[in-house]
């Protein structure tokens, strides 16, 4: 009996280890490499140096924001416009951090900050699926997940920046569509795994309606945020009372 308990305890600890987090991030690594490479190419063609690409990857670390920033730089937009646009685009990270924060309440403040600082759409998707079956999250596992994605993103951006000097028109190769393509793939994987098509359809319809309404009556960025908050709230409420 004690041997069985010891084996079970070992499996639980192994399942929450740093290396397990690394392994669980591997399916998204291929996406990171392709999207990061595309981002590096776009950044290089927008006139950024390799050092600037490295700094943007380390400090901003957001695929959509980096694509947008590079495009706005090419268009000659002022720095203030780029900063505010990136800020509003990345506001969704507050929602993602808030969604998984309850699983890490047992951790010190600085550990929660380190988790939230490296959280991305992809690592959030992996973490949300895993944490839905647990009451508490593992800091070691989450660190393995986040750091693997972070390092691979940097490597991919640098590679794109190096080879980007020979790719003068990235849109001809579909590199500008790489990010939406990855999001669609991640969405389909989560949709298949959940098997709650009624709730997912309701949330999707609600999000589309609110996004269109928000875009018409407020603004595009505000409309997206409003749609996310309302659609997510509807999904939570339906699953709670279903």
Query: pLDDT tens for residues 122-160?
Result: 888 888 888 877 888 899 999 999 999 999 999 999 998
Query: 33 and 6: one domain?
Result: yes
Q: State which of 194, 215, 232 marks the end of a domain.
A: 194
Query: pLDDT tens for residues 14-47?
Result: 678 999 999 999 888 877 887 888 888 888 888 8
- Between CA 95 and CA 91 the distance in angstroms is 7
Q: What global pTM score does this model have? A: 0.68
Helix (H, G, I), strand (E, B) or coil at 169: coil
Q: Please count the structural domains in the chain.
A: 2
Average pLDDT over residues 183-210: 70
Q: What percent of the chain has pLDDT over 70?
A: 78
Q: Across the chain, what does the average pLDDT equal?
A: 79
- Is the pLDDT score of 180 beyond 70? no
Instruction: Identify the domain containing residue 16 by its residue range.
Output: 2-194
Query: 143 and 200: one domain?
Result: no
Query: pLDDT tens for residues 48-80?
Result: 889 999 999 999 898 778 888 888 887 787 888
List b or e across 143-182, with b for residues whose CB sees 16 or more CB atoms inside 10 angstroms.
bbbbbbbbebbbbbbbebbeebeebeebeeeebbebbeeb
Helix (H, G, I), strand (E, B) or coil at 202: helix
Report DSSP state, residue 176: G
Query: 156 and 116: one domain?
Result: yes
Query: 124 and 219: one domain?
Result: no
């Amino acid at each position: 009996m004690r041997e069985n308990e010891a084996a079970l305890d070992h499996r639980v600890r192994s399942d929450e280890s740093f290396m397990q987090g690394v392994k669980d991030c591997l399916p998204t690594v291929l996406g990171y490499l392709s999207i990061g490479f595309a981002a590096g190419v776009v950044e290089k063609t927008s006139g950024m140096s390799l050092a600037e690409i490295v700094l943007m990857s380390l400090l901003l670390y957001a695929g959509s924001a980096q694509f947008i920033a590079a495009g706005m730089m090419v268009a000659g937009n002022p720095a203030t416009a780029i900063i505010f646009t990136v800020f509003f685009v990345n506001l969704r990270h507050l929602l993602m951090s808030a969604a998984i924060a309850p699983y890490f309440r047992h951790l010190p403040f600085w550990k929660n900050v380190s988790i939230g600082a490296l959280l991305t759409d992809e690592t959030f998707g992996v973490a949300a699926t895993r944490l839905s079956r647990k009451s508490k999250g593992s800091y070691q596992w989450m660190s393995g997940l986040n750091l693997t994605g972070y390092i691979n993103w940097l490597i991919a951006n640098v590679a794109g920046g190096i080879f980007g000097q020979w790719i003068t028109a990235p849109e001809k190769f579909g590199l500008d569509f790489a990010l939406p393509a990855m999001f669609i793939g991640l969405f389909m994987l989560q949709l298949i795994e959940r098997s709650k098509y009624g709730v997912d359809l309701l949330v999707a319809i609600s999000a589309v309606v609110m996004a269109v309404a928000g875009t018409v009556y407020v603004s595009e960025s505000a409309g997206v945020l409003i749609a996310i908050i309302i659609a997510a709230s509807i999904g939570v409420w339906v699953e709670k009372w279903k």
